[in-house]
Structures are given as structure tokens and as C-alpha cells.
């Protein structure tokens, strides 16, 4: 397990938590943390399918922020776990709006990392009048080039992980690894989808941090959520037009934003953060020189906390 950065706020339990049925299939888990009269912020986790961690509450001063967190459809404590049907970016955006209305919040700060940055941008561009600003980490714009990098390009840095990833797939199917994995992950046979989910999750998880970490205990919840939902969303291009999030940046260009990016992130390489920064007038880019992709790497955590502290003081990022 990675060491918890000292820059985070102390552990805190939710003031309230519960389940919200969003359609006939999905029920999502939510929690509210911190000051009920504080600055509202919505936390969007990665994956898709990765779910929440208690550490995610700790990027915010609980005396200053009203922190809303939730497990997206098919992730974490939301049910059914790993369910990919009725699961699109547009439906996740609707879920965020349901939560905002349920909590009686007019506008909130939007905080998201990795896939959470994708969803934050898509939500903001759909509902710019509901956003105060953005704290984004490990930028993923869900373009075809980024998806190809995630599946294939990383072989240049982690050939041994790539060899393990392709090993279960017959050579005749390796020309389209995403399709091959989707065929296994999105079927209804547990004997087929569980090995594929574990292989997919390990392929990603073992390259999150810049420096090697102690192996974490296996998590069926994480493996199934990440394996099924990441493959489903990637196969559908995130349910976005290619490069839509940069193309439509004018919808949120007036809002403050900080972009925190690990220099050696091999899951979401820095080019995407660089492109977003240059497309977004007034945004701030914090390139962390000694970090990979993980939100809990010391430099990244420190920059994220600094961002929420800056916004707390003056409603912008200096």
C-alpha cells in the first residue's frame, strides 16, 4: 500500500450517506462530508468503475467544504456491481444533476481525476451554470489516441505487463485487444468474465505509481468494476465525439481551473493535460516532476490540497 501523504486532511467519516435509485437497474451510493454550510464540491472518482476510497474525503478542509462523493453506476457500493448496461457518460451526468438537486446545491466546485477528469469536463460542458470551477488531475480526454495508448502504447514502458495482458487472448484475436476483452468482460458467464476482469485491472493497477508499491490485497469489487466499465466505455469512445472535450472548452472557459499532472504518468500521458491547458484560457497547469498517475503520490496530493485551499480562500487558482 502507498504511504498516505502528510498533506491530506485527517481522516473523517461521512455526516450522512445513503443509496439513490437512478433507474430500474442502477442504485448509486452517496455520502456527504464536512460543513453543511461550506463551499459545495462534488468528487468524481476514476475508472470508470474504480469507486470511492475514504482517502478521497481528505483533499478538502472539512471545516470549509461541503463534500459530496458518490460511487458511479456499477462501481464501489453502487449496485449492481460492474453493470455496464444503462451506463453511459450522459446518464452519469444526469446522476450528478440528481445529486445536486437532492442536496439543494445551486453551484459547486467539480473535482475529478483520471476518468473523473473526463466526466468533470463532460458535466461542466453540459451544465456550465452549475459549476464554480474545476480541480482536475491526470487528464484523460477519451480520444482514440489515448485509448490506443492505454491498450498498446504502454508496451514501450511496461513490456512485461503487456505480455501478461495479451497472454490469455488467442493470437487470432490480438489484432483487436479491446474487442477481445470486451467479448469476455461483458458476457454473462462468471467463469469467463472474472479472469478477464482481474487481468484488466492488474494491467492498469501495476502502472499507476511512478515508483513500485507493495502489492495491495486483491479486490473483487475494484477488479470487476474497472474491468467491465473501462472496457465498455473505451469501446464506445466514452460516449463522446472524438476530441469533444477540447472542442467544446469554450462552454466552461470562463470558469477557473487547475490541472494537476504527473510528469511520468503512463496511464494518462501529459500531452492531454498540455492540450487542455492551452485550449483553456485562464487555467493553471501544475506539472509534478516526480510523479506518475496516482492521486496519493506525494507531489500530486500536495498540489491537489493546495488547489482546494486556494479556492477556499479566494474562489480561484493563483
Active site annotation includes 265: yes
Buried (b) or exposed (e) across 209-229, using 16+ Cβ within 10 A?
bbeebeeeeeeebbbbbbbbb
| CA neighbours closer than 13 Å in the CB half-sphere of residue 17 | 14
The residue among 285, 289, 296, 295 whose CA lies nearest residue 256 is 285
How far apart are the C-alpha atoms of 82 and 74, rounded to whole Å?
A: 4
In sequence order, what are the residues at sequence separation of 6 or more whose Cβ sits closer than 8 angstroms to the Cβ of residue 244? 122
Active site annotation includes 220: no
Active site annotation includes 63: no
For helices 144-151 and 220-235, the axis angle rounded to 10 degrees is 140
In Å, how far are 245, 246, 297 from 276, measured between CA atoms? 9, 6, 22
Q: Which residue among the candidates 78, 201, 265, 283 is catalytic per the annotation?
A: 265
Q: Which residue among the candidates 26, 56, 232, 293 is catalytic per the annotation?
A: 293
Contact 193, 228 (CB under 8 A): yes
In Å, how far are 94, 253, 303, 317 from 289, measured between CA atoms? 36, 26, 12, 20
Q: Which residue among the candidates 45, 56, 78, 114 is catalytic per the annotation?
A: 114
How far apart are the C-alpha atoms of 44 and 96, rounded to whole Å?
A: 9
The residue among 146, 114, 75 whose CA lies nearest residue 304 is 114
Query: Annotated active-site positions, please?
Result: 114, 265, 293
Amino acid at each position: 500500500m502507498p504511504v498516505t501523504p502528510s498533506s491530506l486532511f485527517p481522516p473523517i467519516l461521512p455526516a450522512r450517506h445513503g443509496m439513490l435509485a437512478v433507474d430500474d437497474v442502477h442504485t448509486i451510493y452517496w455520502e456527504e462530508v464536512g460543513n453543511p454550510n461550506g463551499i459545495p464540491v462534488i468528487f468524481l472518482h476514476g475508472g470508470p468503475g474504480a469507486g470511492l476510497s475514504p482517502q478521497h474525503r481528505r483533499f478538502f478542509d472539512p471545516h470549509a467544504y461541503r463534500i459530496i462523493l458518490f460511487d458511479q453506476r456499477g462501481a464501489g457500493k453502487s449496485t449492481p456491481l460492474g453493470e455496464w448496461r444503462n451506463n453511459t457518460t450522459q446518464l452519469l451526468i444526469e446522476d450528478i444533476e440528481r445529486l445536486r438537486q437532492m442536496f439543494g446545491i445551486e453551484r459547486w466546485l467539480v473535482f475529478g481525476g483520471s476518468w473523473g477528469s473526463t466526466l468533470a469536463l463532460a458535466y461542466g460542458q453540459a451544465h456550465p451554470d452549475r459549476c464554480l470551477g474545476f480541480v482536475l488531475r491526470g487528464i484523460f480526454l477519451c480520444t482514440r489516441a489515448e485509448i490506443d495508448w492505454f491498450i498498446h502504447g504502454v508496451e514501450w514502458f511496461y513490456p512485461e505487463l503487456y505480455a501478461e495482458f495479451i497472454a490469455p487472448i488467442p493470437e487470432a484475436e490480438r489484432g483487436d485487444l479491446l474487442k477481445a476483452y470486451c467479448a469476455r468482460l461483458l458476457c454473462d458467464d462468471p467463469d469467463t468474465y472474472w479472469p478477464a476482469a482481474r487481468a484488466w485491472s492488474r494491467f492498469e493497477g501495476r502502472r499507476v505509481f511512478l515508483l513500485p508499491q507493495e502489492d495491495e490485497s486483491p479486490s473483487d469489487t475494484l477488479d470487476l468494476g474497472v474491468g467491465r466499465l473501462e472496457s465498455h466505455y473505451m469501446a464506445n469512445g466514452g460516449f463522446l465525439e472524438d476530441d469533444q472535450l477540447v472542442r467544446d472548452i469554450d462552454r466552461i472557459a470562463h470558469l477557473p481551473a487547475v490541472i494537476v499532472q504527473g510528469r511520468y504518468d503512463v496511464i494518462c500521458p501529459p500531452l492531454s493535460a498540455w492540450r487542455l491547458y492551452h485550449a483553456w484560457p485562464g487555467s493553471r497547469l501544475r506539472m509534478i516532476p516526480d510523479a506518475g498517475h496516482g492521486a496519493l503520490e506525494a507531489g500530486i496530493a500536495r498540489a491537489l490540497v493546495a488547489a482546494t485551499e486556494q479556492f477556499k480562500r479566494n474562489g480561484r487558482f493563483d
